[in-house]
Structure formats: structure tokens, C-alpha cells
Amino acid sequence: MPHFGLMDEGEMIPRDAALLRARLHVRCGRRRLFEGKLPEAVATLYDGLLAAMRWYALTDGEVHRQIHTRGDRLLEDDVELQKLLLEHGAWDDVLDFQGLRSLVDDAMEGRLADFDRHRLMEQIEAVLTRLGVLPFDEDALPPEDPETL
């Protein structure tokens, strides 16, 4: 994964770890997508999106209160967390979350059909922008580990 060796999540404040993980995965996923490493790209972008969702949930006061009210398990349940973000207007509905989950499943099972990579990246970037993860200065991130290329 793009963050291995570049960050120690156990030593970081959870929200800071989630933000850094999201940005590292977006950088790597974008590169993989346009290099044609589609299964890896889809999985990496999805992981980055999940980290971004967690970061938002940990930083937005109202969403964070809802998580404590409904149970901390929401942070680990991507479907329920996405629903909560949608309820609070933090999710840009340009991205079909269930469709993305299906695309990830297909990618992981080796049956990835052709899809519009540019459109997927635009949709993911729209959500990440709405969540506040984008834009960011890629030069401020640690350099990519050659093992993840």
C-alpha cells in the first residue's frame, strides 16, 4: 500500500493519519490509473476515499457527534459512513458509491470491465474536494516508495 513505510499510523493522531493516508493513496491511485494499472488503481483510490471519509468524520463536529451517538463502529463501516456523510451534505452525489464498490469488487476478482478512467477520477476528486482533502501540495508529501510503483 502507498502509505507503508511513509507514515506510522499508530504514532499519529487518528485524524492526521487518515488525512495523510488519503492523500498518499490519491497520489498513488491517480498515477496507477493513468499508467493502466487499473485493478491496483481502483483499490488504491477506494482506500484513499475511505480514509478521506474517516478524516472528515473525525474533523467535522456534527458528524463526529453523530458517530458517538450512533456508535464508533460507523468509522469502520464504509456503507453506513457514506450514508451519514450524505445525510450531512458532505458527500457529492456525483459519485455512485455502490457502483464504486462494485467496481472495486470486480477489480479484486480479476473481472474488471472497461470504464472511463477520466470520469472516475473526476468523480472521486469531486468527492475529495467536497470532503476537504483536495487540493493539496503533492510536494509536501513524503516521496513515493519505489516498492509501491
DSSP annotation string for 10-73:
GGS-HHHHHHHHHHHHHHHHHHHHHHT-HHHHHHHHHHHHHHHHHHHHHHSHHHHHHHHHH-GG
Spans in the chain with pLDDT lower than 70: 1-8, 145-149
Q: Please report, for the chain, the start and end positions of each structural domain, with discontinuous segments joined by +.
A: 13-135
Residues 31-63: pLDDT tens digits?
999 999 999 999 999 999 999 999 999 999 999
Amino acid at 41: A
| Its pTM surpasses 0.85 | yes
pLDDT recorded at residue 80: 93
CATH of domain 13-135: 1.20.120
